[in-house]
Amino acid sequence: MCKRGAKKGINEILQKYPAASEYLIFLLQDIQEAYGYISGENMEIVCEHINVPISRAYSVATFYKSFRLEPKGEHEIKVCLGTACHLKGGGRLAEELQRRIGVEPGCTSKDMRYTLETVNCVGACALSPVMIVDEKYHPNTNAKKIGKVLSEIDKEEIGGGGNSESCI
Ligand code: FES
């Protein structure tokens, strides 16, 4: 997305609410919905608009796990670490994914290919351990299934790139 388009988008979001500090969370939610994450530039624009210190906006954005401060990778992989999944090896799945794609949970690969997240119960305990790739649930996951899913992603794409990560 070009910067001009992004600027127009942010202005539309700003106009939806009165320029008052109590609308901070609404503004951040709308920005995240529009862009997939909250960039530093957009955070500054919001703070200026509602006259809130940037430190306060960052503390709100980092308090709520649903806010992202960096863009998501092309493929988002979530591993459930809720109790049922944890007991059936969710932690080992997260480690296996980390090893295979070279990205720690909460981070995105530098080539923007993968974002790895660990999440709490996703409401599918009977299917544990559960992995979610691009919103698709993969039940009873194990290392072999991880390999299969990653191969399918590879087949869909040409190339690959480095696996080093970017994390704030
Ligand atoms: S604990 Fe993983 S789906 Fe419930």
Buried b (16+ CB within 10 A) or exposed e, 133-153: beeeebeebbeeebeebbeeb
CATH 3.40.30.10 intervals, the chain: 75-166
Distance from the first to the final alpha carbon of the chain: 22
With a 6 Å cutoff on the Cβ, whether 121 touches ligand 1 is yes
Task: Report the pLDDT averaged over residues 35-46.
Answer: 94
Q: Which atom of ligand 1 is nearest to the CA of 82?
A: 1
Whether 107 has a pLDDT exceeding 70, the answer reads: yes
Give 16: exposed, middle or buried? Use CB within 10 Å, 0-12, 13-18, 19+.
Answer: exposed
For residue 100, what are its two tokens? Answer: 């295979």
With a 6 Å cutoff on the Cβ, whether 69 touches ligand 1 is no
- CA pair distance 168, 151, nearest whole angstrom: 28
Provide the pLDDT for residue 4: 37
CA atoms within 13 A on the CB side of 168: 12
Q: Which atom of ligand 1 is nearest to the CA of 83?
A: 1
Comparing 162 with 60, which gets the higher pLDDT? 60
Distance (Å) from CA 135 to ligand 1 centroid: 15
Considering only CA atoms, give the Rg of the chain: 18
Comparing 110 with 157, which gets the higher pLDDT? 110
Domain 75-166 has CATH 3.40.50.10950: no
Work out the angle between the directed axes of helices 40-50 and 3-15 (0-180°, nearest 10).
30
With a 6 Å cutoff on the Cβ, whether 122 touches ligand 1 is yes
With a 6 Å cutoff on the Cβ, whether 103 touches ligand 1 is no
With a 6 Å cutoff on the Cβ, whether 124 touches ligand 1 is yes
With a 6 Å cutoff on the Cβ, whether 119 touches ligand 1 is no
Per-residue pLDDT tens digits for 126-161: 999 999 999 999 999 999 999 999 999 888 875 544
Whether 87 has a pLDDT exceeding 60, the answer reads: yes
